Chain A
Amino acid sequence: MKKLFLLTLAVCLVACWWITGSPVIAQAKTVKIGAIYPLTGGAAAAGRELKAGAELSAKIANNMMPGLDMDMAKNAGIKSLGGAKIKLIFKDHQANPTLGADLAKKLILDDKVDGMLGCYHSSVTKTVSAVCEQYGVPMINGTSTSPALTTRGFKWFWRTTPHDKWFTKDLFELLKGLTQGKVKGVKAVPEKEISNLASACEKTEWGSHVSSIIKSLAKEYGFNLRKSLLYTAKAPDLSSEVRSLKAARPDVMLFASYTSDAILLVKTLKAQKAKPKIIWGQDAGFEKPEFRSTLRDSIVGILTRTVFLPKVAQIKKVAGQVNALYKGKTGNDLGGASARAFTGVQTWVHILEKAGSTKPADIQRAANAIRIPGDQLVVPWAGIQFTPSGDELGQNVLGSGLIGQYQMVDGKLVLEIIYPFDVATADMIFPFKWF
């Protein structure tokens, strides 16, 4: 009788341990990821793209999709977590860093999320990642490009996208390439014809960093930055800024703007009859569908840096497959924001698969050791691998950027790849044929 009692007790204890402590059963059937994006306000258009990209990625991760050439599509859910599904909990930060931090606390304390994703605006990513760091919650950032975000030594923050220093360097390489005759369809341009630059960047975390990077790279590459100004984001009027830029008589105008500002800037440049030879936007607003649909053929010839163009879908099979799904869902092609939000969730899936657990320490170990091959990604990168130490802790070192140019092909506005030179898909329009 005593033996039977002990046996029953042992069985009960094992059962209790199994129920409460086993890594498989302890994981709920869902892994909750908080996704904080700008779903309303000036960047709502970007927010819609980000949300759609992230949702599509979660859908692929949660369902078996045999026709898709990526590991994430081969299982229904996270295999190492017993098929646990990814559940994204979206919150709207309205481009407000304080609100972002409050939402992050709410997600961590009330919704008990296992990890975080977001936030697009670097200023919001800064405060949200600080909250995650405080609570020891892992955060993957797919779309914020201020270089400062990965120089803070945060242990719970990983960024998949390349940052603005790399992107801006691409621009200066393109300008240098123009003077050396490396650009497809353009004969070598005399240096003095494109030596004068002027920049206008919005003055939150992201834009002010881009502005200072432009300053230092212009110096490094020997260009003359005649005017560099910062303006208030979501500005209702930018005429005095545009007049100031115009007065500098620049050959090249550089911008870092979110959607509503980018549209207003181009409209004002057009109204003021500004005539630069090159207009370049640091992604964000310059790449959004609203930018194209509002300004239509006025933007032919404008350059934007990006990490994804529909043209990538033609040269990368998996990108084409995902793009078809995304287009079916939203009616638009994947863009820089949606492709990177997609990649953000995909990175979460790979990390969770590797960690086999939702414990923060296991996720941290897995993230620091992860290596996702480039052929798994929709973005044209060599892969994803984070620096586990050093000055840029948590930065993906295998990312890269593209520079696209709006061109009219068969009556349709498309973004053609201009840089890197070896994957250029069209001749560059130079100089910019004004409005």
Chain B
Amino acid sequence: MDILVSSLFAGLLIGMVLAMVALGLTIIFGVMEIVNFAHGEFLMVGMYTGLLTAQATGMEPLLTLPVAAAAGFLLGIICYFGFVKFVIRGPMVAQLLGTFGLMIFLRNLALLFFGAEDRAIHQGILVGKSFNIGMGVIAPATKLAAAALSVIAFWAVWLVINRTKIGKALTATSLNPQGARYMGISTERMNALAWGIGGGTVTIAGALLVNFWSVNPFIGLLFTMIAFAIVALGGFGSVSGAFFAGLAVGVITEIPGIWDFLTYIFNFGWMADVPMTSLKYMWVYLAYFVIMIVRPRGLFGWKR
């Protein structure tokens, strides 16, 4: 029973951080209908920003979030004005290939500056600490903090989008750009803001993740795929959908733990031989695939 409860708990914790990873992707898609293939690389930038800031200043790694957010926001704005603004005038395929090119560019830039080696945070107030919270659940302090901060950041972004004028302008731009322009909203600024918020949220997620996840220049692809799955599951453009789909995907990555639980319950020898941990991300992609066939607009999607 311990393994089942601890796996579900771990799934929900990581799910909260994964939701934060996918948030930026869904905002950018919601506002501009452009799929950012470089989303995982934005996350990588956030991870390196958190790691290097903590190492250079001796700051607690979790306190580097504002630096990572500022870096991500700037990166998003620069990408928009320097690149996306022009690509968006082209056909859909040009947009796809353009952000794909951005992905390769950022990855190789990281390779040039940081090398291919894995880097991880080994020092920090919370690093290596964990709490036994009963029912066999051991919660690593870094993951608890990352999950809690993710929820707070997610909630803050949700408030900005749903409760402020700027948020309403963003929503108007995503619903009907032409109509928004007629109402005096600068859609160009809103697009840039979407990229800024998208970049800022994913780099926050990166700075949270790096507390318990090592980083290298190639880490982005895994998270791009996971973020796509979350956005597809939650619905393209849906902020609340991204949150619940993030939790669902977090639990899906813990299927190996659920499988272990069933193995010990039924005690079938063949079940122990199934390499479930090797296949943990396969279930995420399978969910992505199924949702694309069964409900292409996702569980909470409104974009058609």
Interface residues of A (CB under 8 A from B): 40-42, 44, 94, 203, 226-227, 229-232, 234, 236-237, 239-241, 243-244, 246-248, 260, 263-264, 267, 270-273, 294, 298, 435
Contact = CB atoms under 8 A, between A and B. Distances in A.
Give the 3 A-B residue pairs with the shortest CB-CB distance, closest first: A247-B3, A271-B140, A260-B118
Nearest to A235: B214
B130 to A, nearest CB: 5
B204 to A, nearest CB: 18
Contact of A231 (B120, B222, B264, B277): B277
Interface string B199-214: 0000000000000111
B10 A247 contact: no
A243 B276 CA distance: 13
B26 interface: no
Contacts of B142: 271
A302 to B, nearest CB: 16
A350 B116 CA distance: 36
A28 B253 CA distance: 59
A57 B257 CA distance: 48
Contact of A240 (B116, B120, B132, B254): B254
A42 B130 contact: no
A243 B257 contact: yes
B115 interface: yes
Nearest to A215: B273
Nearest to A200: B277
Contacts of A246: 3
Given A239-B140, A244-B256, 16 more contacts: A40-B115, A41-B116, A42-B216, A44-B117, A230-B275, A236-B118, A236-B222, A244-B277, A260-B118, A260-B120, A264-B214, A271-B130, A272-B130, A272-B140, A298-B128, A435-B128
Interface centre among A232, A248, A271 (most CB of B within 10 A): A271
A240 B128 contact: no
A41 B117 contact: yes
Interface of B: 2-3, 6-7, 10, 115-118, 120, 122, 128-130, 132, 138, 140, 142, 212-216, 219, 222, 253-254, 256-257, 260-261, 264, 272, 275-278, 280
A297 B195 CA distance: 45
17 contacts: A226-B272, A229-B277, A230-B275, A234-B216, A236-B216, A240-B257, A240-B277, A243-B6, A243-B257, A244-B3, A244-B260, A246-B3, A247-B257, A260-B118, A270-B128, A271-B128, A271-B140
B116 A40 contact: yes
Given A244-B256, A244-B277, A260-B214, A273 B116 contact: no
A94 B117 CA distance: 10
A230 B276 CA distance: 9
A229 to B, nearest CB: 5
B6 A236 contact: no
A326 to B, nearest CB: 23
B117 A267 contact: no
Nearest to A225: B272
B130 A273 contact: yes
A273 B128 CA distance: 10
A20 B261 CA distance: 73
Contacts of B280: 240
A292 B84 CA distance: 46
A57 B180 CA distance: 73
Nearest to A234: B118
A266 to B, nearest CB: 10
B128 A267 contact: yes
A203 B278 CA distance: 9
Nearest to B6: A243
Contacts of A226: 272
Contacts of A40: 115-117
Contacts of B2: 247
Contacts of A264: 120, 214
B10 A240 contact: yes
Contacts of A243: 3, 6-7, 10, 257, 260
